[in-house]
Structure formats: structure tokens, C-alpha cells
Amino acid sequence: MEKVDITVIGAGVIGLAVSYLFSDLGKEIMVIEKNRSFGQETSSRNSEVIHAGIYYPKGSLKSETCIRGGRLLYEFCEKNKIAYKKLGKLIVANETGGISKLETIYKNAGECGVEGLQFLAKSEIRKLEPDVRCEKAIFSPETGIFDTHSFLEFLYKKSKERKVNFAFSVEVIGIERKGGEYKITVSEPHKEKFSFMTECVINAAGLFSDKIAELAGIDADKYSYRINYCKGQYFRIRDPKKFKVHHLIYPPPSEIDLGIHVTPDLAGGLRLGPDAEYVEAIDYNINEKDKNKFLNSLQKFLPNLELNDIIPDTAGIRPKLQSEKESFRDFVISEESTKGFPNFINLIGIESPGLTSALAIAERVKQIWSNIR
Ligand SMILES: Cc1cc2nc3c(=O)[nH]c(=O)nc-3n(C[C@H](O)[C@H](O)[C@H](O)COP(=O)(O)OP(=O)(O)OC[C@H]3O[C@@H](n4cnc5c(N)ncnc54)[C@H](O)[C@@H]3O)c2cc1C
């Protein structure tokens, strides 16, 4: 039976960042992806924001990988000529509840080591953003946007140049522990089955990462690895020139998401959203009726916005460990020897800020891998 050293399941941003960082090890690496190309799921259905790491609890993986990952990502984009803009972000509040949330956010960010945050008064906000109405705001200078597709393409092309193998339209359907290694069974494009052996498995399967863990025999419910789907819809502004918005504008976050926000994109457009709703199945349709919800939410700080300004855009699904009833859950980045699965590395629940964190997550995976050698 054929054998490779390392198998990465999934060619989203996490699988690609891992394959890129591992590609200098001189190991035989195989990336398996069920879609026809890389980055067809959550990695191309998001806000493309480089987050500063403001909201996550101190010491959490989300906090640490976001802060480090953001720095790495800006350097990476600069070095490799990937388009980005460090636009800065305003978290705006109007009512007392919102303002006290801003204070909690500011304190947490400072404790986590996020640099450069400032409170702005109404008059300062008016100068920066004449169309935005609010009483108080936090300004985050380190938040930005970037060209995700070019980033993914760069990681893919460089990995390939460095001899990483990619198998597209190939789905992992079986994982069996055998003689200290893993037998991976895949279904190929014409549904033929094929199996090979591997020493190490890296599960970067996004929305299906709980299912991949289960294929190997890891009990997803026992270890709280079950993924919940939380859909986020986007609308956009029909005529972006009608509004002067220069920064990313966010309301204070809720328990499950960052709130419906306005994001200028690299092409000069203005994206609205995402909203957040737990769903049973993956579908990327936009419910046009939700325009009203978007309008009500956004008019609180963009009072001149009208229903007719809003047109449907795209949607993404967050792979959330946190169920509707739970509060914060962190990323899972775990080598599973203690569960009886040595050399099996699970990356589960990689929701936002996963894009920002990708290079830092891959660094951690490489560190884990070298520790188990
Ligand atoms: C609405 C929304 C907005 C977001 N905004 C931001 C943002 O602005 N900034 C930020 O930092 N993060 C953001 N995120 C989070 C970010 O997009 C994700 O954390 C990141 O894209 C996850 O990447 P991934 O590689 O883990 O998953 P994916 O991109 O989903 O990749 C997983 C891959 O695994 C493949 N796969 C699954 N099962 C199998 C199998 N059995 N065999 C073979 N292949 C398989 C899938 O086909 C898929 O291509 C957002 C997410 C959402 C949903």
C-alpha cells in the first residue's frame, strides 16, 4: 500500500497554511480536498478582515493566535505583494448599555496586549466618519482588510512548488488506526475507493472537522467536538458612493457574533453583515426578507441608510463549537495521544478569527508535530 508521511484533510486557509509551513520539512505531504479547488467553503465566505484580537479572553487560543496571526499576516501580505489595507475599525455605541460594553472590551483588549486602541468622543468620530452617528467609539488602528483569494492562492502555489501533493475532488471517507499508523480511505471523482497509509493526520476539515475526528474513532460528543452551524448572511450597499465610510464600523458584539457591521472592501464596495443564526443544514441562500433586520440594526449608526440601498450579497457558515446555549468556546488545536490517537492533530471549531489566525495556528501545529517526533 502507498504511504505518505503527513496527510492534511482540507484545503481551506488552515490546511493551506499548514501545508505551506510544513513544506520545508522534506517530508512527503498529501493534502486531500473534496471540492474541485482550494478555499471553496468558509475560507472564501467571510468578511476578509484582519482582526486585532480585541474580544477574546486573555490566554485563549483565539486571543493568542489572532494577535500573532494578524502581525504575521500583515508582514506576509507586504512581503508577497498581497493586497491589504490597514483601514482601522470603530466599535460604536449610542446607548448606556453599549457604552459600558465598550469599556469592558477596551479593558480586555489591553490585558490581552492589543496595541493602539483609543476611545473617541462624538466630535472626533464626526471628523473621521461624518455619516456615522454615535456617542462614543473605540478606534482600533490595527484592524484591516486583505485579498483572501490571493493569500490562499499564494499558499497553494508555494506549497506545490515545494512538492506538496494536492488531491482535489477526493473525499476522505475512512480513517483506521493500523500498526502505529493510519490507513486513509478516500472516494475519488468517479467514486472509486483508494486507500493509503500515513504517519500523521492533520484534520483541517472546517465544517466537517467533527465528522473527520469521528471517522478516526474519536467520540465527538464525549470530547465536546460537535460542530454547530451558525449562518452569516451579507448584504451590500447598492451605491457605495452615497455614503462616506472609511473605516470598518462595528456595533458592540453579542454572545455569538460581532454584530452586523459595515466593511469597506478592496474594490471600493461596502459590505453589510454578517448576521448570525444557528441552522441545521448548510445552505448559502440569502433571505431577502432579512433586509429589514439589517436596516434596523445599521440605521442605529448609519441613519441615512434606506431599504432600497441594500442588496443581497453572499453567506457563510461558522463552524462553531459553542452551541446556542453556551458562552465562549475556544479553538481546538490538539494532538490526540491521550485519547489513543497519537500523531492525529485535530483543528476543530476554527471559526472567526480563523483567517487572521491561520499562520499562527499553522506555527502551533508545526511546533506540536516537532514535539511528537
Ligand atoms: C460569515 C463569516 C465571516 C468570517 N469573517 C472572518 C474575518 O473577517 N476574519 C477572520 O479572521 N475570520 C473570519 N471568519 C472565519 C474564517 O473564515 C474561518 O475561520 C476559516 O476560513 C476556516 O478555515 P478552514 O480551513 O478551517 O475551513 P474551510 O475553509 O471550511 O476549509 C475546510 C476544507 O475541508 C474540506 N473537507 C471537509 N471534509 C472533507 C473530507 N471528508 N475530505 C476532504 N476534504 C474535506 C472542505 O471541503 C473545505 O474545503 C469568518 C467566518 C464566517 C463564516
pLDDT tens track for 320-346:
999 998 999 999 999 999 999 999 999
- pLDDT band, residue 96 (cuts 50/70/90): confident
Task: Report the residue among 9, 32, 42 best suited for mutation to probe ligand 1: largest number of ligand atoms under 8 A from its CB.
Answer: 42
- Pair 278, 170 in one domain: no
47 lines ligand 1 (CB under 6 A): yes
Atom of ligand 1 nearest to the CA of 207: 30
* Residue 73 maps to a domain: no
**Span from the CA of 94 to the centroid of ligand 1 (angstroms):** 33
- Pair 164, 220 in one domain: yes
- Pair 94, 221 in one domain: no
Task: Indicate if the pLDDT at residue 373 is higher than 90.
Answer: no
Residues 342, 109: Cα–Cα separation, whole Å:
36
- Pair 136, 234 in one domain: yes
**Span from the CA of 267 to the centroid of ligand 1 (angstroms):** 23
Give the pLDDT confidence score for residue 27 in this predicted structure: 97
* Residue 61 maps to a domain: no
Mean of pLDDT values over 234-254: 94
Percent of the chain with pLDDT over 70: 100
Residues 333, 18: Cα–Cα separation, whole Å:
12
- Pair 118, 133 in one domain: yes
Q: Over the chain, what is the mean pLDDT?
A: 96
Task: Indicate if the pLDDT at residue 133 is higher than 90.
Answer: yes
Task: Report the residue among 30, 32, 46, 356 best suited for mutation to probe ligand 1: largest number of ligand atoms under 8 A from its CB.
Answer: 46
- Pair 114, 8 in one domain: no
* Residue 297 maps to a domain: yes
- Pair 206, 253 in one domain: no
Give the pLDDT confidence score for residue 342 in this predicted structure: 97
- pLDDT band, residue 354 (cuts 50/70/90): very high
DSSP 253: P
**Span from the CA of 202 to the centroid of ligand 1 (angstroms):** 15
Give the pLDDT confidence score for residue 372 in this predicted structure: 87
Task: Collect all residues with Cβ–Cβ distance below 8 Å to 137 and sequence separation of at least 6.
Answer: 90, 91, 92, 93, 102, 119, 120, 125
Residues 308, 301: Cα–Cα separation, whole Å:
17
- Pair 174, 301 in one domain: no
Task: Report the residue among 153, 355, 357 best suited for mutation to probe ligand 1: largest number of ligand atoms under 8 A from its CB.
Answer: 355
- Give the number of domains in the chain: 2
* Residue 56 maps to a domain: no
* Contact call for residues 4 and 196 (beta carbons, < 8 A): yes
Task: Collect all residues with Cβ–Cβ distance below 8 Å to 176 and sequence separation of at least 6.
Answer: 182, 183, 185, 216
65 lines ligand 1 (CB under 6 A): no
* Residue 273 maps to a domain: yes
- Pair 137, 160 in one domain: no
Point out the domain boundary residue: 320, 338, 362: 320
- Pair 238, 308 in one domain: yes
67 lines ligand 1 (CB under 6 A): no
* Residue 52 maps to a domain: no
Atom of ligand 1 nearest to the CA of 16: 25
CATH code for the domain of 189: 3.50.50.60
- pLDDT band, residue 295 (cuts 50/70/90): very high
pLDDT in tens, 22-50: 999 999 999 999 999 999 999 999 999 99
pLDDT in tens, 60-81: 999 999 999 999 999 999 999 9
The residue range of the domain holding 182 is 3-45+149-226+328-371
Atom of ligand 1 nearest to the CA of 48: 8
* Residue 173 maps to a domain: yes
Atom of ligand 1 nearest to the CA of 43: 21
353 lines ligand 1 (CB under 6 A): yes
**Span from the CA of 346 to the centroid of ligand 1 (angstroms):** 14
251 lines ligand 1 (CB under 6 A): no
- Pair 100, 155 in one domain: no
Mean of pLDDT values over 291-319: 96
CATH code for the domain of 107: 3.30.9.10
Mean of pLDDT values over 180-190: 94
321 lines ligand 1 (CB under 6 A): no
pLDDT in tens, 247-291: 999 999 888 788 899 999 999 999 999 999 999 999 999 999 999
- pLDDT band, residue 189 (cuts 50/70/90): confident
How is residue 61 written as a grid cell? 487560543
- Pair 131, 185 in one domain: no
* Residue 66 maps to a domain: no
